[in-house]
Chains A and B, each alone.
Chain A
C-alpha cells in the first residue's frame, strides 16, 4: 500500500515547543498507521510518534510540516494531524487555562 502525504504550515507563534509537540505525538499514537514527519522538503523524516525525534527537529514557526502515513487509519491520522496543526494546537482538551478571558 502506498503512502499518503500532506503539507501544513506551522503557524504556532513559538514553533513546535514542548506543549504542542506532546499534543502532536500523543495524537499520532492513537493511530495504528506508521506516521512520519519532516520540516520542509530538505528536512529529514522522523517518526511522528517519537517525542524525542520530533523535538529534535526544532521546528520553528513558518516551517512547512509534511506528514506521511502508511497502513491502517493513514487517512484519518493525516486528517486529524492537519486539524491539530491548523487549529494552532488548541484542538485538544487540557489546554483550557488560557482561554479564560475573565
Chain B
C-alpha cells in the first residue's frame, strides 16, 4: 500500500509511531425513538450522574491547570438550581438532548466574544461539558477507550476533558482535522509531551500504522519501510534526549565547568503558561504584552493591564519578570494603533518609536507597570531601541506618571529599565545607554545586520542566519560593550534554542538566556554538557 501524507500545523513537537485509530468525537446520534421512549428528565439525571463520576475519576493524577478545568465542570453539574432549567424544558416537551444543547449554548453565548481571554476560555469549558453530557445521553461508552501501545489518534477535534480521559501511558500522538494550537487541549498536550498536529483538514484515508511528526505538522499513514526506519531512529534519539533533559529540568543550569547560567522563559500568553514551567525557570526574560492588545474588541485600559501584570508577578513570586512594552508594527500590526500603509514596516514606525508616537497608549501601559511593580520583581524592557534619547524620553514619561500616581495616593515602584538590542545602532552604542539591563533580540538583529527579512524564503532565506560571521562579530561586540559598561546582558531570541548557536554565545561570555517554555529542559541539558573551549560540535541540533 502506498504511503499517505497529510500536512497540518504543528501544535506540540515530537515523533510518535504506532497503530492508527480514528476516534469519533461527535456523539452517536441516539436512535430516533429513544428519547421519546423513556422519561427524558430521568435520562438527563442519569447522564449528569454519569458525567460527574467520569469527571471525578479524571481528577486523580492531573496537573493543577487540568484539575481546575475539571473542577469548574463538576461544579456546574453540582449546580442543581441551574440544571432545573433543563429539567423544566424537558418536562415541557423538549427532548433531553435538545434541552441540554439549548441550555449550554445560552450559557456559552456571553463568554464567546468577551475581550478577556480568561472569560473567553469559559466558552471552551462549557462546550467540553456540553459534549460530555451529550455522549452520556447517547449512552456512548467509548470515553473509557482502550488504546494499544503508542496509538496515533485521529479526531475532528478533542476537548480538554476528553484528552485527559485518554490513557497517557499508551497514547502516542494526536492528529486533529480541525483544532487550534492555542486551545486548552493543545496546552495540556505540550505539558505532557504528547505530539500534536492540528488543522489537517479532512483526512480521507486510513492505515494500520501511523507516524505523527509534531514538529513538522505531518501525519503519515502506512509509511514505507524507509520512512519508518528514519522515524524510528528519531524516536529513539528523542526519548533518550527527553529522559536526560527531564532529569535536569528543575535544576539550576550550570556548565560542565560549574558556571551558573540563567535560563528564563519567554511568555507569549500567560494563560498558556503552566506552573511547572515557571518553577523550572529563573524568571521571565521576555513577556510579550501584545497578547493584551491583539484580537480584542477594544484596547485594554490601565486597570486591565495592571491586573494582568500583577497576576503574572504573583505567579512568578520571587523570580524577576521582564515585561516588554507594546511591540506593535513590523510583522505585528494592531488595528487602530499601527499604520496600514507603510512601504517598509520593518524599517518604520514600530516598537518604542510607535509607543513614543502614541503617548496616550504608552502612558496607560507605563502607569499600569509602575503600579504593578509594587507587587513583585517587575522590570520594564523597551523594544526596537536605536537611540539613547528614546530611553531618556521614556524615563521622563515614567517619572511624570509616577508623580501623577503619587498625587492620587497610588502606590508605585520605579522598576529597573532596560532595552532590547535589536538594531545595529543600539548594539554599536550600547555602552553609552543609561540602563539597568539589556537583552539581545537575535531574530531582528540578524535581519537588520544581514539586510535579509526574518521570514525570507528562496534565495534570501539563507542569509537570515544568526550564525553568519557578521552577526557573530556584532554579538561579540555587544557582549564586550555590556561587560565594559557593567550592563547585565541576556538574549531572548530563537538563537538560544539551537545548540551550536547557544555554545557560540556561551563562548563569547553570555551567561543568561530566555527561551520558549517548551525548550527550557533542552537548553538546560545543553548548558550542562557545555565544556568551554573544547566544545566545537557540528552545528544544527535544535530542541524538539
Contact = CB atoms under 8 A, between A and B. Distances in A.
Given A18-B72, A22-B71, A58 B119 contact: yes
Nearest to B315: A98
Contacts of B308: 13-14
Interface in A28-81: 47, 49-53, 55-56, 58, 60-62
B110 A58 contact: yes
Given A13-B314, A15-B118, A53 B82 contact: yes
A53 B498 CA distance: 49
Categorize the interface residue count of chain B.
35 or more
B307 A61 contact: yes
B311 to A, nearest CB: 3
Interface residues of A, number: 29
Given A51-B76, A52-B76, A53-B82, A15 B116 contact: yes
Interface string A4-31: 0000000001110111011001100000
Q: Is the interface of B mostly helix, strand, loop or mixed?
A: helix
A14 B311 contact: yes
B226 interface: no
Contacts of A47: 81
B307 A25 contact: no
B114 interface: yes
B68 interface: yes
Contacts of B314: 13, 98
B27 to A, nearest CB: 22
Contacts of B64: 97-98
A11 to B, nearest CB: 9
A98 B79 contact: no
Contacts of B76: 51-52
Contacts of B125: 18
Contacts of A21: 72
Given A15-B118, A17-B118, A17-B119, A56 B75 contact: no
Contacts of B318: 101
Contacts of B304: 60-61
Contacts of A50: 79, 81-82
A99 to B, nearest CB: 8
B118 A52 contact: no
A25 B116 contact: no
B122 interface: yes
A47 B114 CA distance: 23
Interface string B275-296: 1001100000000000000000
Given A97-B275, A100-B279, A14 B118 contact: yes
A101 B71 CA distance: 25
Given A15-B118, A52-B107, A61 B303 contact: yes
A53 B106 CA distance: 12
Contact of B72 (A22, A60, A102): A22
Residue among A21, A47, A56 with max Cβ neighbours from chain B (10 Å) = A56
B311 A51 contact: no
Contacts of A102: 250, 279
A51 B75 contact: yes
A98 B67 CA distance: 14
Contact of B82 (A52, A94, A99, A100): A52
B317 interface: yes
A31 to B, nearest CB: 16
Contacts of A60: 116, 304, 307
Contacts of B79: 25, 49-52
A13 B75 contact: no
B524 interface: no
B321 to A, nearest CB: 13
Given A55-B122, A102-B250, A13 B307 contact: yes
Contacts of B78: 51
B250 to A, nearest CB: 7
B246 to A, nearest CB: 16
A62 B68 contact: no
Nearest to B372: A13
Contacts of B110: 56, 58
B385 to A, nearest CB: 29
A56 B118 CA distance: 13
B114 A58 contact: yes
A98 B275 contact: yes
Given A62-B307, A101-B319, 10 more contacts: A13-B311, A15-B119, A19-B71, A25-B75, A52-B76, A53-B82, A56-B107, A97-B275, A99-B317, A101-B317
Closest 10 A-B residue pairs measured CB to CB?
A: A13-B311, A52-B82, A97-B64, A17-B118, A18-B72, A101-B317, A13-B310, A51-B75, A61-B307, A13-B307
25 contacts: A13-B307, A13-B311, A14-B308, A14-B311, A15-B118, A15-B307, A18-B68, A18-B69, A18-B72, A19-B71, A19-B72, A22-B68, A22-B72, A25-B79, A50-B79, A51-B76, A51-B78, A52-B79, A52-B82, A58-B114, A61-B304, A62-B307, A98-B64, A98-B315, A101-B319
Interface of A: 13-15, 17-19, 21-22, 25-26, 47, 49-53, 55-56, 58, 60-62, 94, 97-102
